[in-house]
């Protein structure tokens, strides 16, 4: 079913379409930038969680490690000729 419009209506539709295209393109660009920001924030959160978990595991392993007594160090004798 095709509709025929007057020439002035067709011109108005074309003009409106030309105005709408940049508007929607701008919204699309904003959406792409926001998606990049969201992806970066999610990655940063994952990396921070992984770093904190590793630091906690390292602290636990150091705390759980048996403490060994070290003998006294003997001074080394250096001979100079």
pLDDT tens by residue, 17-51: 887 777 777 778 888 999 999 999 999 999 999 99
What pLDDT score does 63 carry? 83
26-57 residues labelled b (16+ CB within 10 A) or e (exposed) = eeeeeeeeeeeeeeeeeeeeeeeeeeeeeeee
Region 47-63: mean pLDDT is 94
Long-range pairs for 51-59: beta carbons < 8 A, 24 or more residues apart: none
pLDDT at 64 over 80: yes
pLDDT at 62 over 90: no
**CA angle (70, 76, 81) in 5-degree steps:** 175
pTM exceeds 0.95, yes or no: no
Distances (CA, A) of 65 to 59, 60, 68: 10, 8, 9
At residue 1 the predicted structure's pLDDT band, cuts being 50, 70 and 90, is very low
Write down the domain spans for the chain: 7-65
């Amino acid at each position: 079913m095709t509709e025929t419009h007057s020439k002035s209506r067709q011109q108005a539709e074309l003009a409106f379409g030309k105005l709408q295209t940049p508007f929607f393109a701008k919204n699309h660009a904003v959406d792409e930038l926001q998606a990049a920001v969201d992806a970066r924030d999610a990655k940063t959160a994952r990396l921070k969680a992984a770093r904190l978990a590793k630091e906690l595991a390292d602290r636990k392993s150091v705390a759980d490690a048996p403490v060994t007594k070290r003998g006294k160090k003997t001074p080394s004798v250096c001979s100079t000729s």
